[in-house]
Amino acid sequence: MEHTEAGSLNRKIERVVLAGFMGAGKSTVGRLLARQLGWQFFDADEVIQVRNQATIAEIFSSGGEAVFRRLEAETIHSLLVESHSVISLGGGALETSETRELLLTDPATFLVFLDAPLDILLQRCEQQPGAAIRPVLLEREKLQERFARRLPHFRRAHLIVPTSGISPTETAMKIAAALPVDKTIGTEKVGQDLEHQN
């Protein structure tokens, strides 16, 4: 596991956001992590579909990828007001630069990249129901290119968690253990307690 420089700063975290390619485990781990922390859970892909009353496949086929990316960016932006929440992104969300910068610079957001090699990710996706109609999975010849293009964005996350060979529960536990602590508040509290004693 690897913290980037920004990821090792102690600060008050209101939101954990999970990023990674399709099959990385964002939805599975996000749900488990939210339960562990007692926080709310949002899956950006689900929220997009509910708000637009259309499946992702329908949005791709009616408006193309560009329309989907705009709806996706708006949805993620709107979720960033929620506190005590775990938010799982779609696999391509960090390709939108505004989303990327927002998630990396918002002081209350902790961005986690769930990492695994492409062959393992594809095996996981194939085992899931609905694999046959997923727009990005269907464009086989472009997958390697998408993966390579996204990797540098993912690797800027505050925390990188390799997920091969471990379970979703273990992955969620590792993230919970690596969350920054809010030392500032702790110090103030200690200071206040001492003042009361004097």
Ligand X SMILES: O=C(O)C1=C[C@@H](O)[C@@H](O)[C@H](O)C1
Among 7, 16, 17, 27, binds ligand ATP (CB under 6 A): 27
Among 27, 75, 85, 171, binds Mg ion (CB under 5 A): 27
Among 6, 54, 131, 166, binds ligand ATP (CB under 6 A): 166
Question: Within a 10 A sphere around the Cβ of 58, how many other Cβ atoms?
Answer: 14
Choose the stretch contacting ligand ATP; rule: CB under 6 A; options: 8-16, 60-68, 152-160, 167-175. Answer: 167-175
26 belongs to an annotated ligand binding site:
yes
Closest CA to 147 of 111, 116, 125: 116
Output 39 or 42, the one with its CB closest to Mg ion: 42
165 belongs to an annotated ligand binding site:
no
E strands along the chain, which residues?
2-3, 15-19, 40-43, 85-88, 109-115, 159-162
- Chain-centroid distance of CA 69 in Å reads 16
- Give CA–CA dist 31/3, Å, rounded: 22
Minimal CB distance residue for ligand ATP = 25
Among 15, 25, 59, 76, binds ligand ATP (CB under 6 A): 25
Tell me the two tokens of residue 146.
Answer: 């998408």
149 belongs to an annotated ligand binding site:
no
91 belongs to an annotated ligand binding site:
yes
Secondary structure (3-state) at 134: coil
Output 143 or 160, the one with its CB closest to ligand X: 143
- Give CA–CA dist 198/193, Å, rounded: 9
Q: Which residues bind Mg ion (CB under 5 A)?
A: 26-27
Pick out the residues of the known binding site for Mg(2+). 27
